[in-house]
Each structure stands twice: as C-alpha cells, then as structure tokens.
Amino acid sequence: MTSIKHSFKSLREVFDLTLDHEITVTKSINDLVDHCFKTKDFATFNFLQWFVSEQREEEIVARRAVELFEIIGEEGVGLFMIDQEIGKLEAYAAKVAQAK
C-alpha cells in the first residue's frame, strides 16, 4: 500500500499525478473488460461498459487539465486563468465524449 502524498512542488504536479492515476484506472477497467470478453462473460462485459464510458470522461478531464498548464503556464495570471478553465472541464469532457 502506498502512502498518501501531502506535499507537492507545484499545482501542476497534483494534476500530473491525477492523470497518472486516471491512466492506471483506465488500464484496470480495460483489463477487466478484456477478461470478460475472453471468458465470454457478456453480462459482466455489458455491465462494465458504463465504467468504460465514465472513465473515458475522467481521463479526458485529467488530460485537458495538464494541457492547460502546458498552454497557459503558471507564471503571472496563469494560475488564475487555469482556475477559470478547470471549472469548465466537465462540460468539455461531456462534449468530447458525445462526439466520439
């Protein structure tokens, strides 16, 4: 079991770690779906589709948050602008998920 990190070098580090975590969760869900498919457990496979869709949105949000740091930066009013944009990420993720 890993310990919970309480100190970070920057706000971006929080979002980088969040993206890493979401990628790990996505891999875990995909492994479950793959196992269900291989064993022909189609009821569980179908059940897991909600998690697949939901996790896709979570990963989109995390990726976009990290992109904001790359585009805007943390200098000057950068953190203020990032704060404003992060508030819009759920709507962005839903829009992107529907488009795919």
Residue-level pLDDT at 46: 97
Q: How far apart are CA 89 and CA 96, in angstroms?
A: 10
- CA 14, 18, 20, 21 dihedral sign is positive
- Give residue limits of the domains in the chain: 12-99
Q: How confident is the model at residue 55 (pLDDT cuts 50, 70, 90)?
A: very high
Pick among 2.40.10.10, 3.40.50.300, 3.30.70.270, 1.20.1260.10: CATH of 12-99: 1.20.1260.10
Question: CB neighbours of 5 closer than 8 A, spacing ≥ 6?
Answer: 17
Contact in structure between 72 and 85 (CB atoms under 8 Å)? yes
Per-residue pLDDT tens for 14-49? 999 999 999 999 999 999 999 999 999 999 999 999
Q: Does the structure show a pLDDT above 80 at 88?
A: yes
Per-residue pLDDT tens for 61-81? 999 999 999 999 988 899 999
Residue-level pLDDT at 1: 62
